[in-house]
Amino acid sequence: MSQNIKKCVIVGAGELGGRKIDTKDAFLVIAADGGIKYLEEQNVSFDVFIGDCDSEIINGSEENRLSLFESPCDTPNKIEEIYPGKESAFKKNIEKIFLPKEKNDTDTVAAANFALKKGCNDFVFYAVTGGREDHTFANIQLVKYLVKKGCDAKIMAKDRVFTVLNKSSITFSGQEKGYISVFSLSGRSTVTLENLKYPLKSKTITDDFPLGVSNEFLKGQKAKVISEKGYILVIYQDQ
C-alpha cells in the first residue's frame, strides 16, 4: 500500500454494539443509510449520506421499532420531513446520494465504491454486522473486494475485528487476549501463525474446513498472522 493513506470511515445500519465511532485521521466519513442515526447519537460529523432510506433500527424493544425514515427517498428535497428532528444531519455541506430500493449494490457497497472513486485506500466499517446474517456475510465479502483492489479494510464489530489479508501480515502488540480465528476465503490458502496457542508454519487451510477457528492469544506475546498465499479472513477479540 502506498504511503499516501486516505482513510474512509463508513457507518452502516447494523449493530454498533456500544462502540465509539472513531473518525480520527479520516479523509472521508460516510453514513450508509441508517448509519446516520449512530453518527448523530455520538455527535460525529460526516461528509456524505448514501442510501435508499429503508433502514430500521430497534429503539428499545421489538415492539417499539423506530423507522429512520417515514417515506422513501424519492423526494430528496423533503429530506428534513423524511427524517424529522435531525435536520442538522442534512445541513447544506453534507453531500446526499439517494439510491433506488431495487439495485445490485447494497448501501454499504455503494458507499465503498464512492470512497474508492475519491481515492480512499484504508477502510474502517462500523455497524455492518449483527442483525441480518446475510448482510454480515456480504460485508465480509466487501472487505475482500477492497483488499483485492489494494486497500486495507476492517470491520469493527461489537467486540471483534474482522480483516482480510492477502500476501501480507498483521502483528499484535502482546496486550491482546481472548480468541483469534483465521479462515481461507480462496479455496486453499497458506498461513503462518506465530506466538499463538496453536502455531502454524506455512500450513495449507481450505475454505471447507474450519481448522483455524478459536486459536488464542498468549499473554505478553506479540502474535503474528501471515498470509503467504490466498485471502485469509482474520477475526480477533478487541477488548
Residue 98: pLDDT band by 50, 70, 90 thresholds? confident
pTM: 0.86
Instruction: Evaluate the CA torsion angle 123, 206, 191, 193 in order and state its sign.
Output: positive
Q: Contact, 153 vs 163, CB < 8 A?
A: yes
CATH code of the region 165-237: 2.60.120.320
pLDDT digits (tens, 9 = 90+) for 45-84: 999 999 887 765 433 333 333 333 333 444 444 444 444 4
Helices (H), the chain: 35-41, 79-82, 107-117, 133-148
Q: How far is C-alpha 4 from the chain's CA centre? A: 21
CATH superfamily entry for domain 7-158: Thiamin pyrophosphokinase, catalytic domain (3.40.50.10240)
- Taking the C-alpha atoms of residue 209 and residue 15, their distance in angstroms, rounded to an integer, is 28
- Where does CATH 3.40.50.10240 sit in the chain? 7-158
- Where does CATH 2.60.120.320 sit in the chain? 165-237
